[in-house]
Amino acid sequence: MASNCRKPPGSARQRTAAPSLASSPSGWGYQDKQGRWVIPPKFIWANEFSEGLALVKLGDTYGYIDATGKFVLMPHFAGFQSFSEGLAVVAVGDSRPYSYGYIDKRGKFVIAPQFDYAWSFHEGLARVTPHKLGKCGYINKAGTLVIPPLYEAASDFMESLAMVRSHGKCGFIDRTGNEVIAPRFDNAQGFYEGLAAVCVGRDDTGKWGFIDRAGTFVIPPQFDDAGCFSNGQAGVYVGDKLGVIDRSGRFVRAPSPDVFLNFQDGLAPQESAWVYGYVNTLGKWVIKPQFQSASGFSEGLARVGIAGKSAYIDTTGRIVIGPMTHFTGGDFYYGLAVTKVGNKWGYMDKTGKIAISPEYDRADDFYYGLAVVELNGKWGYIDTAGTLVIKPQFDDAMHFVEGHAYVRLGDAYGYIDMTGRFVHPPTK
């Protein structure tokens, strides 16, 4: 099977209320898009959110949590997968080999355990390996085998086609099981935006190109690895360097060492010769390298370092705030950025003027209209006018997600709503 699809660096992610999986020395948790913990890193193992739920392991227990971190389903099975199209694969049995089936979001079996292995549903069909047959076929949501188990390997359906491997070669079938593109490639990925990456030759020496739905090469095999198309662009490797091509195969970003660029407002900070500037999605310099440090843009402004001081620039590179002698710690959200004056934290507006007096021991960015602040060792929440709407009373507190926030009292944790009322009482 091909490696995971590499989308072009800087391609926009879908915005979602669900936080993103992240790790720390203490375990796995979830962060918002600014990298702030919204579900603490307390899990031994965790998966990304899918259809509003994430599969996690806490202690010896597996279960599914919602976007607030609350367990909503704790079934007792030997193995699990994430939900897809309303169903999740689970394994049953006291020891291997397990038997696999599908449950709904109530934890009830919809398709009884009967397969040697099973995968998630995509476009109404799921790959399965029936008991003792050793080959892949496809079932529908009634559990009926609608495409016989004929294949050594197979992929999920994407754009109504699925990659299958037969006699060592890869081709594509449609949802009825009809062979649309005969198996003739040494490796292949699924279709994205009407094109699929395929490999001709062995894994160590083969070259990747792109075919259309008729199986015709539209971009000849020439790359050492290739990903899927997204927004008309695909990531490809030439040797160990990553570039980006368009649908004609023309490079829109020349191959360079594999780095991730954080694009906001169409620009991303990038280093060159130990100083930072900003490039556009084509990899061209829009703001030349000149800063000691640089963050991503937020609400049209980006924080940069100049001669040991903080400043904010707009998307043309013009300095609109600073450089400032006091330390500035945050990006702009709701028109405000957290800032430190002396030993206290407050907030400034987009002109650089103090909008909320620096009177807090610690403070963080605004999220859902509220910011968590610390005063005299206790945490509470203020609104964008600087009013304490939830008085400092917690020993620790997180940001709000979908109307709820994770807080700690002593060694007990619970969830509050945006009025400060507990919706899940603190428990140890």
Spatial distance between the Cα atoms of 127 and 163, rounded to a whole number of angstroms: 11
pLDDT value at residue 326: 63
CA-closest candidate to residue 170, choices 138, 211, 205? 211
pLDDT value at residue 15: 35
Q: Which residue has the tokens 């892949």?
A: 136
Quickly count: other Cβ atoms within 10 Å of residue 171's Cβ: 21
Spatial distance between the Cα atoms of 385 and 367, rounded to a whole number of angstroms: 14
Instruction: Please report whether residue 316 resides in a domain.
Output: yes
What is the DSSP pairing of strand 217-223 with strand 45-46?
unpaired
Q: Are residues 237 and 269 in the same domain?
A: no
Spatial distance between the Cα atoms of 413 and 386, rounded to a whole number of angstroms: 26
CA-closest candidate to residue 164, choices 194, 193, 196? 196
The two structure tokens encoding residue 62:
């597996």
Q: Are residues 251 and 172 in the same domain?
A: yes
pLDDT value at residue 329: 67
pLDDT value at residue 220: 98
Task: Check whether the bond before 97 is cis (ω within 30° of 0).
Answer: yes
The strand pairing partners of 210, in sequence order, are 197, 219
Residue 371 belongs to domain with CATH number: 2.20.25
Count how many domains the chain has: 3
Identify whether the C-beta of residue 374 lies closer than 8 Å to the C-beta of residue 382: no
Domain's final residue, options 258, 273, 305: 258
Domain's final residue, options 232, 258, 284: 258
Instruction: Please report whether residue 186 resides in a domain.
Output: yes
Q: Are residues 360 and 418 in the same domain?
A: yes
Q: Are residues 198 and 280 in the same domain?
A: no
Residue 271 belongs to domain with CATH number: 2.40.10
Spatial distance between the Cα atoms of 169 and 267, rounded to a whole number of angstroms: 42
Domain's final residue, options 234, 258, 282: 258
Q: Are residues 357 and 375 in the same domain?
A: yes
Spatial distance between the Cα atoms of 140 and 124, rounded to a whole number of angstroms: 6
pLDDT value at residue 11: 34
Q: Are residues 232 and 318 in the same domain?
A: no
The strand pairing partners of 153, in sequence order, are 165
Range of the domain at 355: 349-428
Length of the chain equals 428
pLDDT value at residue 390: 95
Q: Which residue has the tokens 């299958």?
A: 164
Q: Are residues 268 and 252 in the same domain?
A: no
pTM: 0.59
Instruction: Please report whether residue 13 resides in a domain.
Output: no
Tens-digit pLDDT profile for residues 131-170: 888 899 999 999 999 999 999 989 999 999 999 999 989 9
Quickly count: other Cβ atoms within 10 Å of residue 25's Cβ: 5
Identify whether the C-beta of residue 15 lies closer than 8 Å to the C-beta of residue 32: no
Q: Are residues 165 and 232 in the same domain?
A: yes
Tens-digit pLDDT profile for residues 248-283: 999 988 887 655 566 777 788 988 888 899 988 667
Spatial distance between the Cα atoms of 307 and 319, rounded to a whole number of angstroms: 14
pLDDT, mean of each 10-residue run, the chain (428 residues): 43 51 79 84 85 85 87 83 91 84 94 94 94 91 97 92 94 97 95 94 88 97 90 85 90 74 77 87 84 88 87 90 74 87 90 91 88 95 93 90 81 87 82
